[in-house]
């Protein structure tokens, strides 16, 4: 039977990076903590902390275990602590959400209205999402993130689907593609502004065009949806963007379905498992689902939907 107390010891050791510091935090003697580290090394088959000059540094295995162990310890504490009550009327808290361009403009007004109506003391901070790096969620810098789950998504994260989306072409009013049926030839032959940034999976558009013997005429490349739509609004260009996600950015512009078959994709909400038992965080997740029109209780393959 494994000694589950070792999880707490390992969590503190990895956080402190020092036998003496961990001993003080756990109110143990240095010799007792050294024995605990020896036991952990025996159980895991890894040295975990190794000497580098006058300090200890974690091994790659220890770095890998850090977030998992922290989540397990926090979950155990949540199970053992008394049941909490949540008074939204008096809740004072700031939550940070990291989203791609268009999310705030499209879903932010309804989300803010929901939060203000139920918990006027809560502040929402929205941060841009330049990449798919999971560290901000893992390290507690971000409470909730939205995006498409793929092979680069950290496996320990929780996820809940928010809505299905699809790529659409967008042009300014009066553009030739705003009139009539948009064929593959008309679409590919127009001037395009292309969004290119890390973690954006729009290459399937060009793959589908190539399968039809077509290729987009790229005029310029930008790093985000807002810039692409701004150029398309004032120039004779086509921007191809997610339909629902950018609704708030596309006001006054004309949109059309792409003339080649491309699968839809799911925009999901992600959070770190240490927040599962946090009642205020759980309430906020419900607000995000409501703002996006998500049905309660859906599940996304691969990652559990924990409300």
238 near 171, Cβ under 8 Å? yes
**Domain 5-80, classified CATH 1.10.10.10, yes or no:** yes
Confidence check: pLDDT of 284 > 90? yes
Mean pLDDT of 228-254: 94
Tokens of 148: 């498409």
Query: Which pLDDT does position 298 carry in this prediction?
Result: 38
Neighbours of 235 (CB within 10 A): 16
Mean pLDDT of 251-259: 94
What class does CATH assign to 93-165+266-292? alpha beta
Q: What is the mean pLDDT of the chain?
A: 86
Query: Which pLDDT does position 82 carry in this prediction?
Result: 59
Neighbours of 131 (CB within 10 A): 13
Confidence check: pLDDT of 292 > 80? yes
In this chain, the answer to whether the domains covering 5-80 and 93-165+266-292 adopt an identical fold is no
Q: Where are the chain's structural domains?
A: 5-80, 93-165+266-292, 167-263
Question: Could you give the residue ranges of the DSSP H alpha helices within the chain?
Answer: 5-16, 19-26, 30-44, 60-80, 103-118, 135-138, 184-189, 203-211, 225-234, 279-292
User: Which residues, 6+ apart, have CB-to-CB distance to 277 below 8 Å?
Assistant: 74, 75, 78, 79
Tokens of 241: 């963007």
122 vs 56 pLDDT, higher one: 122
What class does CATH assign to 167-263? alpha beta
């Amino acid at each position: 039977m494994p000694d589950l107390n070792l999880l707490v010891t390992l969590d503190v050791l990895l956080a402190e990076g020092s036998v003496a510091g961990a001993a003080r935090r756990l109110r143990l003697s240095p010799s007792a903590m050294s024995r605990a580290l020896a036991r952990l090394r025996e159980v895991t088959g890894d040295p975990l902390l190794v000497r580098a000059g006058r300090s200890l540094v974690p091994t790659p295995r220890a770095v890998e275990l850090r977030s998992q162990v922290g989540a397990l310890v926090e979950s155990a504490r949540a199970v053992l602590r008394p049941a909490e009550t949540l008074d939204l009327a008096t809740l004072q808290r700031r939550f940070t959400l990291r989203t791609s361009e268009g999310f705030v403009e499209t879903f932010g007004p309804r989300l803010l209205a929901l939060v203000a109506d139920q918990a006027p003391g809560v502040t929402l901070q929205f941060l841009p999402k330049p990449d798919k790096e999971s560290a901000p969620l893992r390290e507690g810098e971000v409470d909730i993130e939205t995006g498409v789950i793929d092979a680069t998504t950290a496996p320990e994260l929780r996820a809940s689907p928010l809505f299905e989306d699809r790529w659409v072409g967008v042009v300014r009013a009066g553009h030739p593609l705003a009139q009539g049926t948009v064929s593959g030839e008309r679409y590919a032959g127009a001037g395009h502004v292309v969004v290119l940034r890390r973690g954006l999976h729009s290459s399937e558009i060009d793959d589908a065009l190539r399968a039809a013997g077509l290729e987009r005429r790229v005029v310029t490349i930008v790093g985000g949806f807002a810039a692409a739509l701004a150029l398309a609004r004032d120039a004779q260009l086509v921007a191809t963007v997610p339909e629902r996600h950018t609704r708030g950015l596309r006001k006054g512009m004309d949109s059309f379905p792409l003339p080649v078959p491309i699968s839809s994709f799911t925009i999901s909400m992600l959070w770190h498992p240490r927040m599962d038992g946090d009642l205020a965080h759980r309430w906020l997740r419900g607000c995000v689902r409501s703002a996006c029109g998500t049905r309660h209780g859906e599940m996304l393959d691969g990652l559990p939907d924990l409300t």
